[in-house]
Amino acid sequence: MQFGAVIGPASPVYYGRTHWAIERMLAEPDFAGLKWTSLRPNLFSTMFLNTAAEAVKAYRSKGELGPLKMLFSEDVGIAAIDPDDIGVAAGKLLALADPAPHASQIYTLNGPEDITGKAVVAEVERLTGAQVTDITYKDQSWLDNLAAWGTPPKTIPSMRVASDGLHKGVASLDRVLPTSQAILDLAPPKRTLRISLGDMVVE
């Protein structure tokens, strides 16, 4: 979960400190020849739309819409971005005949809209035609599974801090740095909740 609020030298989130340290290292004269550009994307939307996508697929195969658990709060928005939008931006930067104007630049990327839990539920109901009756917002059970998935246990509390921050609005459009103008000019993020979730449930 990378978003601007967690990037900094004193961040309680370990990968936020790591991201900041790498950018600072690359800014040193020894690395001037790399002509690097750093992308700072907000939360990846598809990572936390997975449970909604699985609910839609299960309904289509079994005709039942079971419990829906999600990271999102009911009403607090997250300007989550589809990884495909990040890939398009990175690809266009790499394909430039002259990337010099983007050398040593740090670019912020947000999704085109805030996503809330309520909006996810509405989209699941639109895709299935059924009503979601069992909903858990701000679900953190995925954090409890990280160690079993191979994540170093000592990093999990740090990730919990990041997750808690999302429910306080730190990753919403009115709180994050806006998407950098260079990205808006080159490859503005376009993939909304409807597009992302719709693609995730295509068989």
Instruction: Supply the pLDDT for residue 132.
Output: 96
Instruction: Supply the pLDDT for residue 150.
Output: 85
Cα–Cα distance measured from residue 162 to residue 173, given in angstroms and rounded to the nearest whole number: 17
Assigned domain for 201 exists: no
Would you say 76 and 167 are in contact if contact means Cβ atoms under 8 Å apart? yes
Where the chain has pLDDT below 50, the residues are: 1
Instruction: Supply the pLDDT for residue 1.
Output: 46
Residue 35: left if φ>0, alpha if ψ -120 to 50, beta else—which one? left
Assigned domain for 200 exists: no
Residue 39 phi, psi dihedral angles, 5° rounding: -105, 135
Assigned domain for 162 exists: yes
Cα–Cα distance measured from residue 191 to residue 185, given in angstroms and rounded to the nearest whole number: 16
Find the length of the chain.
203
For residue 81, give the H/E element and its range: none
Assigned domain for 202 exists: no
Domain count, the chain: 1
Assigned domain for 72 exists: yes
Residue 133 phi, psi dihedral angles, 5° rounding: -110, -15
* CATH number of the structural domain spanning residue 157: 3.40.50.720
What residue numbers bound the domain in which 185 lies? 4-195
The H helix count followed by the E strand count for the chain is 8, 4
Assigned domain for 56 exists: yes
Assigned domain for 69 exists: yes
Assigned domain for 183 exists: yes
The 10s digit of each residue's pLDDT in 80-131 is 999 999 999 999 999 999 999 999 999 999 999 999 999 999 999 999 999 9
